[in-house]
Amino acid sequence: MKLSAFIYGSVLASLPLFANAWLPEGKIRGVNLGGLFVVEPWMMQDEWSAMGCAGKVSEFDCVLALGQTAANAAFQAHWNRWITKDDITQIASLGLNTVRIPLGYWIYEDIVYSDSEHFPQGAFQYLERVCMWARDAGLYIILDLHGAPGAQQAQQPFTGQYAPTAGFYVDYQYERAYKWLEWITNIVHTNSNFANVGTIQLVNEPIQNSGTVATMISQYYPTAFKRIRAVESGLGITANNYVHIQMMNEKWGSGNPNANIDNLYFAFYDDHHYVKWTPGVTVSRDGYMRHSCTDDRSGNWPVITGEWSISVADSAEWNDEFTLDRSDAVEWYRKWWAAQFLSYEKIDGWIYWNWKVNWIGGRNDWRWGYQQAVAAGVIPTNPLDAYSWNVCAGYT
């Protein structure tokens, strides 16, 4: 794969180390491998039931209910079937160049409190395998700390637990996260299966608009930067081969990520934009198209929209305009997908949420699954086709 001029130098390390801090040429265009190492039951109901976890709200709760041994077996079967080599091959065949892999801190088992935290064990070999597949397919890889120690948001299964409060924003939890980041940075630079990992994300979707996250900006982000760079320095990694370090951009609403970082070399930013939850957008076909055709996602640079979908507001889920069985549903959702695609192409690219889903609300809801949307004819096999559709005529 051709490399971006953003690198400021060669990506070939002089030492026998493997990670190359590069970005794909042009735009990042990719999908999240959500549900693999951090299960979100809402989007994979049949799979969750097959694991024996029906009725449980998070991985923590399922492991606690099944017991460690049975849970390990259930999750191993899940890791084997949720994302296969065929999935990675298909992703690469669809004009995509990137996968973002959400991870929980518990994949590094040394930092889990074995007496009080209940998570599946043995996932690392499956992470190594999927990164090898992605490397061999020529895909760029972003590793995302999706579930942080203590949970960065309350009552959110994407943290791996349905925590009553967000417990991440304290010193001892930050320290566990730093150790996780040091561990994964070392692996990225020393294990050839991780050769296409070019970005590590410090934390996914922290609390918004709250003084709770003040120490994340003043302490966690700058210290995390230093700890990652210290590992790289200790390994003899040259600056042009550092990993990119990704943070939620200022538009996310958790403060200015750059405020206390001395050296922003290879800083990278993530912008999540779900129109269904965006205040002020008129909930109608016209309103959604108008918003997506005129929205400006720029800000901290370089930035990508690392999560987005074509799902609509929950309040409008069964409105006639948006029902999936309407005769023109595929046609309209294709236009709206294209409008969002074009918006995110104006920045440094995008990563769709999610690659696949498994029965949401008792139906095959292709609005959340890229694979399902391609099969339904909503997303084209080459996303660049959208440039010729002129979907925003009359909206800009």
| CATH code, domain carrying 339 | 3.20.20.80
Residue type, 237: I
How does 22-61 read in b/e, with b if 16+ C-beta sit within 10 Å?
bbbeebbbbbbbbbbbbbbbebbbebbeebebeebebbbb
The answer to whether 153 and 167 have CB atoms below 8 angstroms apart is no
Residue 112 lies in a domain: yes
Q: For 311-335, what is the mean pLDDT?
A: 94
Is the per-residue pLDDT at 27 higher than 70?
yes
Where residue 319 falls among pLDDT bands split at 50, 70, 90? confident
pLDDT of the residue at 326 = 94
Residues 286, 292, 293, 297: what is their CA dihedral angle, to the nearest 10 degrees?
160
pLDDT of the residue at 204 = 98
Is the per-residue pLDDT at 122 higher than 60?
yes
Give the CA angle between residues 34, 37, 42 to the nearest 5°: 50
| Mean pLDDT of the chain, nearest integer | 93
Give DSSP secondary structure letters for 332-387: HHHHHHHHHHHHHTTTTEEEES-S--B-BTTB--TTS-HHHHHHHTSS-SSGGGGG
Residue 200: helix, strand or coil by DSSP?
Answer: strand
Residue 229 lies in a domain: yes
Where residue 317 falls among pLDDT bands split at 50, 70, 90? confident
pLDDT of the residue at 8 = 28
* Comparison of pLDDT for 16 and 256, the residue scoring more: 256
Q: For 166-191, what is the mean pLDDT?
A: 98
pLDDT of the residue at 6 = 32
Residue 395 lies in a domain: no
Is the per-residue pLDDT at 20 higher than 60?
no
Closest listed residue to residue 140, CA positions, set 99, 91, 80: 99
Say what percent of the chain tops pLDDT 70: 95
Where residue 396 falls among pLDDT bands split at 50, 70, 90? confident
pLDDT of the residue at 7 = 32
Range of the domain at 81: 5-388
Backbone angles phi, psi at 140, to 5 degrees: -75, 145
- Tell me the two tokens of residue 276: 């269904």
Q: Pick the catalytic residue: 59, 205, 232, 345?
A: 205
Residue 178 lies in a domain: yes
Is the per-residue pLDDT at 361 higher than 90?
no
Backbone angles phi, psi at 266, to 5 degrees: 60, 30
Residue 393 lies in a domain: no
Question: E strand or H helix at 86, and its extent?
Answer: helix 85-93
Contacts within 8 Å (CB) and 24+ apart, 110-114: 110/179, 110/183, 111/149, 111/176, 111/179, 111/180
pLDDT of the residue at 24 = 85
Q: Tens of pLDDT along 230-239?
A: 999 999 999 9
pLDDT of the residue at 267 = 97
Q: For 205-220, what is the mean pLDDT?
A: 96
Q: Under 8 Å CB-to-CB from 211, ≥6 apart: which residues?
A: none
Is the per-residue pLDDT at 169 higher than 60?
yes
Q: How many domains does the chain have?
A: 1
Q: Pick the catalytic residue: 307, 317, 321, 331?
A: 307
The answer to whether 307 and 272 have CB atoms below 8 angstroms apart is yes
Where residue 364 falls among pLDDT bands split at 50, 70, 90? confident
Is the per-residue pLDDT at 176 higher than 60?
yes
Q: What CA–CA distances, in Å, run from 351 to 70, 210, 230, 263?
A: 34, 26, 29, 26
How does 334-372 read in b/e, with b if 16+ C-beta sit within 10 Å?
bbbbbbbbbbbbebbbbbbbbbbbbebeeeebbbbbbbb
pTM: 0.94
Place of tokens 């889920």: 317
Residue 334 lies in a domain: yes
Residue 40 lies in a domain: yes
Q: For 113-129, what is the mean pLDDT?
A: 98
221-234 vs 171-190: helix axis angle to the nearest 10?
30
Residue 396 lies in a domain: no
pLDDT of the residue at 21 = 59
Q: For 109-117, what is the mean pLDDT?
A: 97
Is 307 labeled as catalytic in the residue annotation? yes
Alpha-carbon distance of 83 to 123, in angstroms, equals 13
